[in-house]
Amino acid sequence: VKTFFTPGPSQLYPGIDTFFADALKEHVMSMSHRSGAFSDMFDRTVANLRTLMDIPSDYHIFFLGSATEAMERIIQNTVESRSHHFVNGAFAKRFFTTAQELRKQATETRSSWGDAAKGSDMHVPKGTELAVFTHNETSTGAALHMEDIYAFKRANPEVLVAVDVVSSAPIVKLDFSYLDCVFFSVQKAFGLPAGVGVLIVSPAALAKAQYLEGKTTTGSHHSFASLVTSAVKSQTPATPNVLGMYLLGRVAADMNDKGIDQLRERITGRAARLYELLETHAVLRPFVKDPEYRSDTVIVAQTQDSTLLARKLANEGLMVGKGYGDYKTAHLRIANFPATSGEHVDQLMTALQQCA
């Protein structure tokens, strides 16, 4: 038996085999994406997500191929020239690079990897159309404070705000009234097979896309205009990952049944225990030094040789992530997602304590 604490793809949400069997029985994978049955499924998934994440009814929910695609579609549809990026890790940098590749005048405020932009750092150049924040940097385990982002929006109401919650949704509580583009992927805290990116868009972001339509290319089938035209009919512009959308709806429903508040408490409690272990460990240390900016869902430990440690844990069936990029052998990354049980985490903590 293997238990996956990898930061995504990760442990599958319990019951996924039942959900798949139901999908087979209900012909989810054979039904036309232009049928009423598809639209019913679309509506259920959207409704379950709205409840789970408290998404306002005038915000649209789009289904894309990946979170990386979401970065591309956000830049194409909300930025004529200038985006500003708060960069403190590989995924924030990926968003910044996307803007450059799409030939925008992208600027950045850089923090060290393992640090996070604080409220006092959150300034953007004049003329910035979109400010981009990576709430939870999957490569380093640093998390921004949503309150700082809300304060930024209050101070800069004319700037659109995009937030990457790829590996923190739906655990992070969000106040969408301060946010314009929010996106995540399903193979992280939702515990699903990869292949769906979800992008949530405010009326203001949509209006900006409409403004840009006539001036520049906003893409083709996945422009906001095209996505919204389909979404209001409970459809998607192209044949989507229907199974992925169905499974997402099922997992969101299950989380709603169990209560998102309890789930959040459970994850936060586990994170505190894991960080405590790292603080007092013989060879491991939390990579993010400031406890105020540590992620609850992706916990990164610094060590001398993570390859050996990861192999030792794997021998016990405990699969953890190695470090990202240059940190490959210097970090362990531990996902603290809902799909793993308290017992799984206890097992991991015992095994970690025995590593010295």
Residues that bind its own copies (CB under 8 A): 2, 4, 6, 8-12, 16-17, 20, 24, 27, 29-33, 64-69, 71-72, 75, 94, 97-98, 101-103, 185, 187, 192-196, 217, 219-223, 237-244, 319, 321
Nearer CB in complex with its own copies: 38/178: 38
Minimum CB–partner distance for residue 211 and its own copies (Å):
16
Calpha distance 316→329 (Å, rounded): 20
Minimum CB–partner distance for residue 177 and its own copies (Å):
29
Residue with the two structure tokens 């006539």: 214
Instruction: Determine the residue type at 313.
Output: L
**Strand 181-185 versus strand 160-164 pairing type:** parallel
Minimum CB–partner distance for residue 136 and its own copies (Å):
16
Nearer CB in complex with its own copies: 195/269: 195
Do the beta carbons of residue 122 and residue 144 sit within 8 Å? no
Provide CB contacts within 8 A for 266, sequence distance 6+.
338, 342
Nearer CB in complex with its own copies: 185/336: 185
At residue 172, the 3 state secondary structure works out as: coil
Burial of 351 (0-12, 13-18, 19+ CB in 10 A): middle
Nearer CB in complex with its own copies: 106/253: 106
Interior angle at CA 179, CA 175 and CA 183, nearest 5: 100
Nearer CB in complex with its own copies: 134/223: 223
Minimum CB–partner distance for residue 20 and its own copies (Å):
6
Minimum CB–partner distance for residue 98 and its own copies (Å):
4
